[in-house]
A and B are shown apart, each in its own frame.
Chain A
C-alpha cells in the first residue's frame, strides 16, 4: 500500500515537473499537449498544418466513391471558373449578401438601440421572437410583397439575419451596466449624449462581432435563398443546378468556394472591427 502511494506520488511529481517545464516553454513539444498552456504563433501554425495534412490525407485516401478526389475537385473548379462563369455568379452572390447585410445592420441596430426607450421595448421584443418563424412559410407572402426575384432574396436574407441580430444586440444594450450611464450623468451629459457615447459607441465593437456572426448565418442561408429564385443566378443557383445533374465534383468545388469566401468575409469583418475598435482586442485572451 505504502509502495503504491509512493509510486503514485512519484508519477504525479514527474508529471508536475514536465508540466512546469511545459508551462515555462522549455519543452515546446510537450507544451502543445499541456492543458491551458499558451503557444506561440509558430507552434500554433505547425499544429494547424499538422491537422490540415491529416484531413487532406484522409480525404485523398478516402474509400468512399461519393467523395471526389482532390484532383477531381480541382479540375471541376477550374472548369467552373474559366468556362462556366463561376466568378460572375460569385459576384452576384456577394452583392446580394452585402445588400442584405447593410439593410439588416441598419434595421437591427436601430431596433436594438431603441430598447433604451421603454415605449419601443415590446416592439423590439416582438421582432426578436420572429426568429422562431421558419423562412419557408414566409416565401409566399414575401413574394407577394416584393414581387419576387432579387428583392425577394434580399427580403428573405434580411429577415433571416435581422431577427437574430436584433436578439443579440438588444441583449447587449440591455446588459450595459447602470454604472456606465451613471458615470456619464455625473459628468453632466444629457441623455441623448449618453445614448450616443455609452449605447452606440460603447457597444460598437460588440455590434461588429454580432454582425460577424450574422453574416455567417446569412452566408449559410445563401444557397437556399438563391435556390428560391434562380433567374438572377448566383452561386446558390449554380450549386443547385450541379446537384440536379449529380455532378459531385462540381458540387464539392462550389462548397469549397462557399467555405473559403465565407471565411474571407468573416476575416474581413474581424479586421474591420479591430481597425474601428482597437480597444476590442485588449480583453481578448491569447491562447
Chain B
C-alpha cells in the first residue's frame, strides 16, 4: 500500500546505541533508529519524523543528545554521510519557545543570522523574508513578551531557520494549541521540511494524532516491563511505523481515513504499554 513514486535514499540521521544514565537511573538504554531521505518524483520532500513516548520517558534527554547539547554515555548521533552533529548544527525549538526577550523579533532573527556567519545586511534581508513567510512581518518590532503563544512559536521556528539547517528538532510543538493553531503548526512543519530534500524535522511529542498527521515515520520510545508489569528503567525504540509504506503520509484528509484511524488506535494501544 506504499505511495506511488515514493522511495528512500541515503541515511540522513543515524542514532545508534545511545545510552544515558542520570545518577543511579538509566534513562536511555541503547536508542537506535535512522532516518532516510524520502524521495518523491517531481516533489521536494523533506523528512518529518515523530518520536512518541509518554511523559518522563526521556524524550527531551534524547533531543538534547541529538542536538549536541549533552553527550551520551555511549552511542553516536550522525548526520548525512556520517558527519558528526555538534551543538549549533541542529536547530531546536524547545517547548517554551525561547527567544531573546531583550531583543525585538526582527533583532532575534538578525542575531541568529550574525551568529550563523551572515553579514548584517544579509541577516536583515533573511530575517525580513522569514518574518513575511511566517506571517510575522507586522510583529517585527515587537518584543517576545508582546507575542501570543502561537506567534512566539512561529518566531522561534523562524529564528532556527535564518541560517539553513538540515535538522530541526521540535519539542512538544502541539502542546496547548487550539485546533486551528494545531492545523497551522502542522502545515508549517510540513512546509519547513519540504524547503529542501535533505531537511529533517524530528517532532518530539506525546500527541499521537497530531504527530501522525505530519510525519512520514513514527518511532515509539518506551521502557520494557518485567513479568510482573514493573517498569525496567532505560528507554529504547519499542516500535517503528513507516507511514509512507502504510500509504498514510503526505495526503489531505488523513484524519478521516479509516486506515489512519485504525493505525492511530493501534499506536494508542501500544502507547499505553510503554
Contact = CB atoms under 8 A, between A and B. Distances in A.
Contact of B146 (A183, A186, A277, A282): A282
Interface stretch (A46-54, A201-209, A210-218, A231-239): A201-209
A179 interface: yes
Interface stretch (B31-39, B110-118, B182-190, B202-210): B110-118
Contacts, number: 62
Interface stretch (B4-12, B89-97, B216-224, B255-263): B89-97
Given A188-B87, A188-B116, A189-B115, A279 B102 contact: yes
A283 interface: yes
A179 B69 CA distance: 11
Contacts of A186: 67, 69, 87-88, 90-92, 160
Contact of B145 (A179, A193, A283): A283
A180 interface: yes
Given A179-B94, A282-B146, A202 B100 contact: yes
Interface string A251-287: 0000000000000000000000000011100110000
Nearest to B145: A282
B102 A187 contact: no
Nearest to A279: B143
B101 interface: yes
Contacts of A283: 145
A188 B163 CA distance: 10
A198 B98 CA distance: 12
Interface size class of A (residues with CB under 8 A): 20 to 34
Contacts of A198: 100
Interface string B125-152: 0000000000000000001111000000
A182 interface: yes
Contacts of B92: 182, 186
Interface string B42-60: 0000000000000000000
B115 A193 contact: yes
Nearest to A181: B69
Residue of A183, A186, A204 ringed by the most chain B CB atoms within 10 A: A186
Residue of A198, A202, A279, A283 ringed by the most chain B CB atoms within 10 A: A279
A185 interface: yes
A282 B96 CA distance: 18
Interface of B: 64, 67, 69, 87-92, 94, 96, 98-102, 111-112, 115-116, 143-146, 159-160, 163
Given A197-B100, A283-B145, 14 more contacts: A179-B94, A179-B98, A182-B64, A183-B99, A185-B87, A186-B90, A186-B160, A188-B88, A189-B115, A201-B102, A202-B101, A279-B101, A279-B144, A282-B146
